[in-house]
């Protein structure tokens, strides 16, 4: 998924991290975003207003929505459209006939204690990752984690870009007998998996 985030113009599934308190969900989300779409704002609260949500999606390549309890049907539908690139339109302010159009495909990350995605169409567009609580014996101070991350991040980014270059070279040869709903991502996923020494089935 991280490698595929660097491939534009394809639908990218939503990464949905869920798990109990103390499982590192928020930190993991901020780390993912810092690899793909660095920002001074590592994560955001999910707005109730869908127009505001659309604006946030429009302005961020990899928006992270933190600590979500549940999604409304309208929010869920907006996330579905944001993964596949469907457009949004609204009347421009102070006009009667001018329309503002937005169309985009985003790499979205959600997290919460419980899985906030409940509608089948959103689940079909999601990668579900459950995190376990971090044992007290394995916890570290955030300053120490930040130092380790500062050392690891450029190496990880270099590895991601190396994998992308190789995936680009073998992508034309990838054949898939069956494709799931997000077919473009699945075919790229097969190329990336092979690049990383895994199988297409993986």
The neighbour count for residue 139, using CB atoms within 10 Å, is: 11
Contacts of 128 (CB under 8 A, 6+ apart): 16, 18, 115, 117
**Residue appearing with tokens 């990880």:** 156
Specify the DSSP element, H or E, that contains 122: helix 120-123
Distance, CA of 101 to CA of 173 (rounded, Å)? 37
pTM equals 0.88
Q: Shortest CA distance to 160 belongs to which of 187, 109, 195, 198? A: 195
Query: pLDDT per residue over 29-82, tens digit each?
Result: 999 999 999 998 888 999 989 889 998 998 999 999 999 988 999 999 999 999
């Amino acid at each position: 998924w991280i490698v595929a985030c660097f491939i534009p113009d394809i639908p990218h599934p939503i990464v949905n991290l869920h798990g109990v308190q103390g499982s590192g969900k928020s930190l993991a989300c901020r780390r993912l975003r810092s690899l793909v779409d660095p920002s001074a704002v590592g994560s955001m609260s999910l707005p109730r207003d869908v127009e505001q949500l659309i604006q946030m999606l429009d302005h961020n390549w990899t928006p992270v929505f933190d600590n979500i309890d549940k999604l409304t049907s309208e929010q869920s539908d907006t996330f579905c459209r944001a993964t596949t690139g469907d457009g949004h339109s609204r009347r421009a302010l102070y006009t009667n006939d001018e329309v503002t159009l937005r169309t985009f495909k985003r790499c979205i990350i959600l997290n919460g204690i419980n899985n906030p995605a409940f509608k089948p169409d959103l689940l079909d567009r999601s990668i579900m990752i459950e995190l376990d609580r971090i044992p007290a014996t394995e916890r570290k101070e955030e300053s120490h984690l930040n130092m380790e991350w500062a050392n690891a991040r450029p190496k990880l980014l270099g590895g991601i870009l190396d994998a992308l270059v190789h995936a680009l070279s073998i992508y034309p040869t990838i054949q898939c007998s069956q494709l799931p709903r997000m077919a473009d991502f699945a075919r790229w996923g097969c190329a990336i998996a092979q690049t990383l020494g895994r199988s297409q089935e993986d």
